[in-house]
């Protein structure tokens, strides 16, 4: 089946972390004809398949080079938020960390009026996706399409970090998605047999090979959703300079991400009437919340020079690169199976019994998009503010679909977020000075060895904070007037139109956002088809 057939039951815009999952689940019904439109090219390239090679995708046509306006509270810097632009989306370019967040994140969604989204109600959808190679209990599934495994490679710095964090007072945790998120340990990752397991690899490609009722159109730049008499009934996109269109009998599913989904709603005349009028876009439905509630995780890199050449510096160059590539190509082992951020921790620094800081440990000095890291061999320990209070907005720059979106992230706009990162920075410095890492570290860089005080640390946070690439919330789910979709993920006021991706999150989960996005897509498929949810897991231990 091809897009040229022009009429489908469902049209899915975006083949990313959510769209690939929805496409698989809907096309399981042979009576449903499903079209998936993806803006990017084929994802099956070595920089995506080899886990440790993903940094080579940044700056290519397989990413959207999203960047914010200058951020006043972040020293006037622009925050870069590149996102995946190929089948698999973020799951084809990310660090593969499989983290769901804290159980109370979803209970908070439910308490705010999102009926059906409590932790006990979403846990079965997490489990349904998962094929975990080590864990099989009330928290984990073993029969799903998505490979989840312990990170195959463990750098000496990662092991040193896990030991040092315990010496600094954090408990060891073998499963951040189990009974408690708190503690330090090695991450589980979305990989299978030494290769990245994107949602394209796990869900979309197998369905395309096995089914005749599913079509994928690559390099499809969607320009607008067709709406007639208050109902979404089709999509128009451009490919190779030619405008194309298709009809959706049952509905359109928007899965273009936290920046792409509000963009297409606005271009289609669905959004704040004043913004649409500014660009001469006819108002199809005045929906004030579109593009608002932007949230992202920010981290602050803390750099340390190592005592010897033990970091990853230079491992992607010359004979080193050839050796690592050969080992991966022949055996699917070695450094290229690493996700770089192999170890991490979740810490409660504000004393409420719930993690507010996530620490990422990297055996290399990590660059920013506009600034190189310090030279030489070193490591980076990056605390991340898990539940930021700052809220931003994404907006159109004009009616031309080719224009990039305007992102006003409002990064660190709430001083509470600065305070959180200062606490995280203090914890990172304490861990770096614990014996297991002190043996590897020669000196701290950029910050003085002695305690400089909160004011200096806060200035450092504003000057060096960077994104963890987790934008969410811009098509918020809820029951109030500011919500864009209802708890069934239907766009308020437009029939036949659903949003299924990270943009519907009312509040950002306490951790990496890929696993929660996959869960959203799993649940959305049941909502769309009217299927009963999967059975709940056996009684879980309270988090």
**Structure confidence by residue, pLDDT tens digits, 531-543:** 988 887 665 544 4
Once rounded to an integer, what is the mean pLDDT over residues 359-379? 94
HEC readout, 11-79: EEECCCCCHHHHHHHHHCCCCCCEEEECCCCCCCCHHHHCHHHHHHHCCCCCEECCEEEEEHHHCCEEE
67: Cβ contacts below 8 Å, ≥ 6 apart: 78, 79, 80, 81, 369, 407
The pLDDT of residue 543: 42
Distance CA 93, CA 57 (A): 7
* pLDDT(5) > 90: no
267-291 confidence digits (pLDDT tens): 999 999 999 999 999 999 999 999 9
Q: Would you say residue 80 has pLDDT above 70?
A: yes
Q: What is the mean pLDDT of residues 433-446?
A: 96
| CA–CA separation, 443 and 90 (whole Å) | 35
39, 219 contact by CB (below 8 A): yes
**Is the confidence at residue 123, as pLDDT, over 60?**
yes
**Given this model, what pLDDT does residue 3 score?**
61
Contacts with 184 (C-beta within 8 Å, 6 or more apart), sequence order: 161, 162, 165, 166, 170, 171, 172, 173, 343, 344, 345, 346, 359
pTM above 0.75, yes or no: yes
Contact 251, 232 (CB under 8 A): yes
**Which of 2-16, 18-32, 182-196 has the least mean pLDDT?**
2-16
What mean pLDDT comes out for the span 3-16? 89
| CATH annotation of 1-122+192-296+392-409+472-535 | 3.50.50.60
Phi-psi region of 343 (alpha: psi -120 to 50; beta: other; left: phi over 0): beta
The answer to whether the beta carbons of residues 230 and 492 sit under 8 Å apart is no
Count CB-CB contacts under 10 A for residue 307.
13
pLDDT in tens, 467-506: 999 999 999 999 999 999 999 999 999 999 999 999 999 9
Task: Share the mean pLDDT of the chain.
Answer: 96
**Nearest Cα residue to 374 out of 447, 315, 459:** 447
Least confident of 185-194, 447-456, 492-501: 447-456
Catalytically active residues, by annotation: 470
Give the C-alpha separation, 325 to 314, whole Å: 14
- Predicted pLDDT at 536: 78
Name the pLDDT band for 253 (thresholds 50, 70, 90).
very high
The tens digit of pLDDT for each residue in 304-317 reads 999 999 999 999 99
> pLDDT tens, 88-108?
999 999 999 999 999 999 999
Q: How many CB atoms lie within 10 A of CB 82?
A: 20
DSSP, collapsed to helix, strand or coil, labels residue 186 as strand
Give CA–CA dist 520/199, Å, rounded.
13
Q: Could you give the CA distance from residue 335 to residue 352 in angstroms, rounded to a whole number?
A: 38
Residue whose tokens read 């507010």 = 356
pLDDT at 277: 97
| Domain boundaries defined on the chain | 1-122+192-296+392-409+472-535, 152-186+298-385+413-464
Q: What is the mean pLDDT of residues 413-419?
A: 98
Q: Which two tokens stand for residue 90?
A: 């973020």
Task: Write down the CATH number for the domain with range 152-186+298-385+413-464.
Answer: 3.30.410.40
φ and ψ of 421, to 5 deg? -70, -30
Gap between the Cα atoms of 135 and 112, Å rounded? 32
Q: What angle do CA 107, 90, 505 make, to 5 degrees?
A: 25
Q: What is the pLDDT of residue 533?
A: 87
| Percent over 90 (pLDDT), the chain | 95
Cα separation, 103 vs 87, in Å, equals 29
């Amino acid at each position: 089946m091809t897009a040229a057939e022009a009429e489908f039951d469902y049209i899915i815009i975006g083949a990313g972390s959510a769209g690939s999952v929805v496409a698989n689940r809907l096309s399981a019904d042979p009576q449903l004809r499903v079209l998936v439109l993806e803006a990017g090219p084929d994802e099956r390239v070595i920089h995506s398949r080899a886990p440790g090679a993903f940094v080579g995708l940044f700056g290519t046509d397989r990413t959207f080079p999203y960047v914010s306006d200058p951020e006043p509270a972040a020293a006037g810097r622009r925050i870069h938020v590149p996102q995946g632009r190929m089948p698999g989306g973020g799951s084809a370019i990310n660090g593969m960390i499989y983290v769901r967040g804290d159980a109370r994140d979803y209970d908070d969604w439910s308490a705010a009026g999102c009926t059906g989204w409590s932790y006990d109600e979403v846990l079965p959808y997490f489990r349904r996706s998962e094929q975990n190679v080590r864990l099989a209990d009330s928290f984990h599934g073993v029969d799903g399409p998505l490979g989840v495994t312990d990170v195959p490679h463990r750098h000496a710095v990662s092991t040193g970090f896990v030991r040092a964090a315990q010496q600094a007072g954090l408990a060891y945790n073998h499963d951040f998605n189990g009974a408690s998120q708190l503690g330090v340990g090695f991450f589980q990752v979305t990989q299978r047999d030494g290769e990245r397991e994107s949602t394209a690899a796990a869900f979309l490609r197998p369905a395309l090979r096995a089914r005749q009722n599913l079509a994928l159109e690559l390099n499809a730049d969607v320009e607008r959703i067709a709406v007639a008499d208050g109902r979404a009934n089709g999509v128009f996109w451009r490919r190779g300079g030619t405008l194309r269109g298709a009809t959706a009998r049952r509905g359109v599913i928007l899965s273009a991400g936290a920046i792409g989904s509000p963009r297409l709603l606005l271009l289609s005349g669905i959004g704040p009437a004043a913004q649409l009028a500014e660009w001469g876009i006819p108002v199809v439905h005045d929906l004030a919340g579109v593009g608002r509630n932007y949230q992202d995780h920010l981290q602050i890199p803390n750099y340390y020079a190592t005592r010897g050449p033990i970091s990853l510096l230079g491992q992607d160059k010359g004979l080193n690169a050839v050796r690592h590539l050969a080992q991966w190509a022949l055996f699917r082992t070695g450094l290229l199976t690493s996700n770089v951020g192999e170890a991490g921790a979740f810490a409660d620094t504000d004393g409420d019994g719930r993690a507010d800081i996530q620490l990422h440990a990297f055996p290399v000095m990590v660059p920013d998009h506009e600034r190189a890291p310090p030279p030489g061999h070193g490591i980076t320990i990056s605390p991340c503010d898990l539940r930021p209070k700052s809220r931003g907005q994404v907006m159109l720059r004009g009616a031309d679909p080719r224009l990039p979106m305007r992102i006003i992230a409002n990064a660190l706009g709430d001083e509470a977020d600065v305070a959180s990162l200062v606490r995280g920075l203090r914890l990172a410095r304490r861990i770096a000075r614990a014996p297991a890492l002190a043996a590897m570290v020669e000196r701290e860089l950029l910050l003085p060895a002695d305690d400089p005080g909160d004011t200096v640390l806060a200035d450092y946070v504003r000057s060096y904070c960077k994104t963890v690439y987790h934008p969410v919330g811009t098509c918020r789910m809820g029951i109030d007037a500011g919500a864009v979709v209802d708890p069934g993920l239907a766009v308020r006021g437009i029939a036949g139109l659903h949003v299924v991706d990270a943009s519907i999150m009312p509040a950002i989960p306490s951790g990496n956002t890929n696993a929660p996005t996959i869960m959203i897509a799993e649940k959305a498929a049941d909502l769309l088809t009217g299927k009963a949810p999967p059975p709940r897991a056996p009684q879980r231990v309270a988090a």
